[in-house]
Structure 1
Amino acid sequence: LQFFKKIINIKKGEAKMVLTFFFFSFFTVAMGMVAKTARDAYFLSRFEKSILPLMFLAVAVVIAPTLTYYTKLTNKFSPRKLFIITCSIFAGSFILIQPLISGFFIPIAYIWVEIVVGIMLIQFWTFASSSLEPQQAKRLFGIIGGGGSFSVMLIGMNLKPFVNAFGTDELLFVAAGFLIIAFVFGILSIQYFNKIPVKKGAAKKASKKKKRKKDPFIIGIGTIVALSAIVTVLVDYQFKMIASSTFPNEADLVAFFGSFYSIAGAASIIMQFFITGPLLSRFGILIGLLILPFFLIAGSAALLFIPVLMSASFAKFSDQTFKFTINNSSVELLWLPVPPNIRKYIKPQIGGTVKAIAEGLSGLLVFFLVKIIELQFLSIIALGSIVVWLFTSIRVKANYVKQLQIAISKRQIDFEDLNVDVQDAAMVKTIEKTLSSKDEIQQLFALEIIEGLPLSSWKNSLERLFKEGSVDVRKRILSMAWDEEFILSNEDIITTMKKDDDVAIEAIMVAGRRKLTEILPDLEPLLSADSLETRAAAAAAILLLEAGQTDKAESVLIEMLDNDDESTQATALNRLVYNNSILPQEKL
């Protein structure tokens, strides 16, 4: 039970929000899976499948400017309005395109589906990022994103009975239906948007910094991303061509794709929730980087010597299962030592531009190669790319440890824009050493860089520092672990709030956020305290508890806000960050 609770780490008051985003993810991915399965089946069964490699190139060419234009639209329209517009266009287009699926409409639909799925996923993650604080995001993104993995599994296993009953000419209608349901949950999720943007100024400041020359470490990361994209295109092409030859009937092909993605989705759930984190923590980032290429070597070698569906499925399964779990987490960790200002500029280029160029060129290469060689011999190129990928990963890992040590010594680490909630062994050890330092500045920096990550790896150090550390260190731990009861128990919080020091005021706020109603008898007398800080914290905590003398607490804070003294106003404002009734966005 404790292990399950650790995985599904949802705190009090978060369940409704998490459920909303879980289903938003579920139906968004369901839409994408059905639409992509349909477009693949239509193209392979009804069009000239020999030009499939050119579709990889076309997608790479079209998707970049489309997403650039979408980004411009985000500056012109509110998130709600843009979401309504895009969902209306996308759902309507699926309904209109379905009866026209023949001839040149098929390649158009192929590219259009990629655009729709890409933008819908961007909107989902944008909404999620806008609704969660950094601490929540690292803890909940895995659970929320798990909705997509469950969707792939459940929808995939039901595609076969669906096409047996209704055929394949209804699939885009189904995708439109899933999109409409995703739209409903997307609209519901807007209510959870943060009223106050997190660290907006810092991001602007970072973006103004000068570009720096790429170093070998960053080039190594880019090489890994490019090579993995090349291998993905080769494996995907071989898989689809062999599958279409094995299942010439369109309904059978859709059923096979559904079953395959269902199994891959179930494996991804197991990898993400039960294997990725423990594996990286115990064995380190190198194992995380090498697992995918090693399995792809096995799959590509099997395809080279035994070019049958089983071999192609194994290679595709490896790519589908490991790429979006342990490999993605490992690559995200590689970005950790890169200075934030450089990372913000270079990371999107490598993950977007470099990856798209690699995919496009791979598609073009495949188009010409299959005219002169057999399909199975594409595995030779894949194997060559994987060998370079392996050696690059080993070299990058060696640089990673050095870069990590340098980054911590220069205080350049920032997790905020990284989509990762796991740690590798080298990172845990390095940060543990910094937390154990006698230097308060080093301790505070270590606390800063692990904020928002799962804190279990540093539990003992955090407990020790909360008891023995300086006031600033204890405040920082309270701020980052306020909802982590396995690190700071409720008894710890109550004991701390009864002490007469600066940390007690922060503990009062944490008690309110944790809904510890048993502290009301201790809080209510503090509404008349001489200290403005104590009075404001007690009032804000009582309002968070929604019990006791709430009217008096509200009047205390309103009186402070109406005071002519700016410091008094600031004290009240500081304690109303989590209160939307007294201090709505409009009043700000």
Structure 2
Amino acid sequence: MRAWLTRLLQLERREATAVGWAFMYFFLLLASYYILRPLRDEMGIAGGLAQLPWVFTGTFLAMLAAVPLFGFITTRLPRRRFLPLVYGFFIFNLLLFYGAFQVESWHAITARVFFVWVSVFNLFVISVFWSFMVDLFESSQGKRLFGLIAAGGTAGAITGPLLTALLVAPVGPVNLLPLSALLLAGTVLCIVQLGRWADRELVAASPQSNEPLGGSILAGLTLIVRSPYLLGIALFMLLFTTLATFVYFEQAHIVAQSFTDSAERTRFFALLDLAVNTLTVLTQLLVTSRLLTRLGTAGSLALLPVLSGLGFMLLALTPVLAVLAGFQVLRRAGEYAITRPARELLYTVVDRETKYKAKNALDTVVYRGGDALAGWLFTGLKALGAGLTLIAVIAVPLALAWAVVAYWLGYRQAALSRPEH
């Protein structure tokens, strides 16, 4: 039975322990986050749709402050120390928010800060997770294993909103924060176990893995500017976040028109997350590794841009809740099951400093910078009289440009992964 399962999952014997801990790590991480996500989305609407661009801008500014701090930590501490420190910091933050929400007069400002914090937390902890994975596994391993590892995250992403949908009414939204913190604490154990596996299996091939990365605290940003390859990833991220933000803002407007009750909106967001993650985990377990192997990084990266172009065309013709929900389910499932593992393969061909510092800057500052710019662009178009239909039409050529950039990046990754490089 074990041999059959190993063949089905395309695992080698020495990889099984690491993949098991990585699967659990990502499960706990996304379960923790997805308990918070429906609360964040509801707080975004409750705070007023007009405030969303400002909140996105605040998130971007928070990222600008966080990246040099992360660079400072990784420059001076080895991996086995800075990874638990990052997660410990966010656990402490969650407990602080739990206390702040107990003060009624602080509720409005705490809700806005919480929205920004969750947006920072989400990208930061997931970026650090994938930096760790691309540091542990090579490109050829990633094609086989990243889909399976990502399925652990999706299982957690199913568990999180399910817990929220079941518990939000009887215990209240704020009382879910300690549960999220407890799940996040479990990731630290997984980090320790993966570190021990790496010491046993990888230390001979990579003795520098337990050393501080060194370099400048702003090295992540300077590495991006100096590399055409990393600049290509930055453009990929900007186009991705622009289109994702357009969908998010359209979702906020359509959901606000469709539901008047806060609890109903929170439940809708939780059920949407549940549908997305159920489809995602099935795709990750049955399709992702085979798709990455057959289409390669280039073909896999180009799939979501093409799907997004088609989705925006349909949304332009019929901007209603059912179409939006269907588009969001397919788009986000494609992102998590195919695009994210394929995007992480782009970093398997770069050095360790780039894997942690440049990747973190791309996943946080560039990502949220794109969010902020797209948020103001959406608001500006609305102010000029553009409706949701016209904005969806504008998104179609952006999706096509995204597809071209995606294919070029996959082609470059394949070239850089060849032995002569």
| Shorter-normalised TM range | 0.7 to 0.9
**Match in the other structure for 2:122:** 117
CA distance in 2 between partners of 1:349 and 1:81 (Å): 19
Match of 1:89 in 2: 92
Q: TM-score, normalised by structure 1?
A: 0.58
One-letter code aligned to 1:34: I
With over 3 angstroms needed to count, the CA separation of the structure-2 counterparts of 1:135 and 1:331, relative to structure 1, is: closer
Deviations 1:323-373 (A, max 9, x none): 23322344455677x776997687666555443432221122223333333
1:296–1:198 CA distance, 2 compared to 1 (3 A):
same
Structure 1 position 206, deviation (Å): 12
Query: How many residues are aligned here?
Result: 405
Are 2:212 and 1:199 equivalent residues in the alignment? no
Tell me, what secondary structure is at the counterpart of 2:101? helix
Q: How far apart, in 1, do the equivalents of 2:332 and 2:123 lie?
A: 17
Tell whether the 8 Å contact from 2:158 to 2:277 is kept in structure 1 after alignment. Answer: yes
Structure 1 residue 18 displacement after superposition: 4.5
Q: How much does 1:109 deviate?
A: 0.9
What is aligned with 2:290?
278
Query: Which residue is 2:102 aligned to?
Result: 99
Partner amino acid, structure 1, of 2:26: S
User: Which residue identity does 1:48 align to in structure 2?
Assistant: G
Residue 375 of structure 2 is aligned with which of 355, 363, 383? Answer: 363
Shift in Å at residue 377 of structure 1? 3.1
What is the aligned partner in structure 1 of residue 73 from structure 2?
A: 73
In the TM superposition, residue 389 of structure 1 has moved relative to its aligned partner by 2.4
Instruction: Name which one, 1 or 2, has greater alpha-carbon Rg.
Output: 1
- The root-mean-square deviation of aligned C-alpha atoms, in Å, is 4.1
| 2:148 matched residue in structure 1 | 143
Tell me, yes or no, if structure 1 residue 231 matches structure 2 residue 231: no
Indicate conservation of the 8 Å contact 1:35/1:113, yes or no: yes
Say whether 1:244 aligns with 2:251: no
Shift of 1:129: 6.5
Tell whether 2:184 aligns with 1:172.
no
Three-state SS of the structure 2 residue aligned to 1:99 is coil
Contact 1:289 1:330 in 2 (8 A): yes
Change in 2 beyond 3 A, CA 1:96/1:331: same
Partner of 1:154: 159
Partner in structure 1 of residue 64 of structure 2: 64
Rounded to whole Å, the distance in 1 between the matches of 2:48 and 2:17 is 47
Paired amino acid for 2:34: M
Asked whether the 8 Å contact 2:158–2:278 carries over to 1, the reply is: yes
Q: What is the rounded CA distance, in whole Å, between the counterparts of 1:134 and 1:387 in structure 2?
A: 30
Q: Is the 8 A contact 1:296 1:318 kept in 2?
A: no
Q: Residue in 2 aligned with 1:29?
A: 30
Residues 160, 256 of structure 1: 8 Å contact kept? no
Higher normalized helix content (fraction of residues):
2
Structure with higher RCO (Cα < 8 A, 6+ apart): 2
Q: For residues 193 and 381 of structure 1, what CA distance do their matches in structure 2 show?
A: 47
Give, in whole Å, the separation in 2 of the partners of 1:335 and 1:117. Answer: 20
Structure 2 residue identity aligned to 1:106: A
Query: Which one-letter code corresponds to 2:319 in the other structure?
Result: P
Q: For the Cα contact (< 8 Å) 1:94–1:173, is it kept in 2?
A: no
Contact kept, 8 Å, 1:74 with 1:82, in 2: the verdict is no
Whole-angstrom distance in 2 between the partners of 1:105 and 1:7 = 47
**Cα shift at 1:301:** 2.1
Q: Cα distance, 1:150 vs. partner?
A: 0.5
- Provide the secondary structure at the position in 2 that maps to 1:248: coil
Check the 8 A contact 2:95/2:177 in 1, yes or no: no
TM-score (norm 2): 0.78
State the alpha-carbon separation in 2 of the partners of residues 53 and 215 from structure 1: 31
Gapped regions of structure 2 (runs ≥ 5): 217-221
- What does the per-residue CA deviation read over 1:481-539, in whole Å, with 9 as the maximum and x for residues that have no partner? xxxxxxxxxxxxxxxxxxxxxxxxxxxxxxxxxxxxxxxxxxxxxxxxxxxxxxxxxxx
Q: Can you list the C-alpha shifts for 1:416-468, whole angstroms capped at 9, x where unaligned?
A: xxxxxxxxxxxxxxx7xxxxxxxxxxxxx48xx8xxxxxxxxxxxxxxxxxxx
Tell me the residue number matched to 2:219.
Answer: none
Q: Distance in 2 between matches of 1:218 and 1:88?
A: 31
Question: What is the CA–CA distance in structure 2 between the aligned matches of 1:259 and 1:389, rounded to whole Å?
Answer: 29
- Tell me how far 1:38 sits from its aligned partner: 0.9
Distance 1:136 1:23, change over 3 A: farther
In structure 1, the residue matched to 2:390 is: 377
Note the C-alpha offset of 1:17.
5.3
Take 1:266 and 1:230, find their aligned partners in 2: how far apart are those partners? 25
Unaligned runs of 5+ in 1: 408-412, 415-430, 432-444, 450-588
Shift of 1:29: 0.9
Give me the identity figure in percent.
Answer: 19
Structure 1 position 386 matched with structure 2 position 399: yes
Distance 1:377 1:8, change over 3 A: same
- The question of whether the paired residues in 2 share the 8 Å contact of 1:31 and 1:175 is answered with yes
Query: What is the CA–CA distance in structure 1 between the aligned matches of 2:350 and 2:18, rounded to whole Å?
Result: 33
How far apart, in 1, do the equivalents of 2:248 and 2:137 lie? Answer: 37
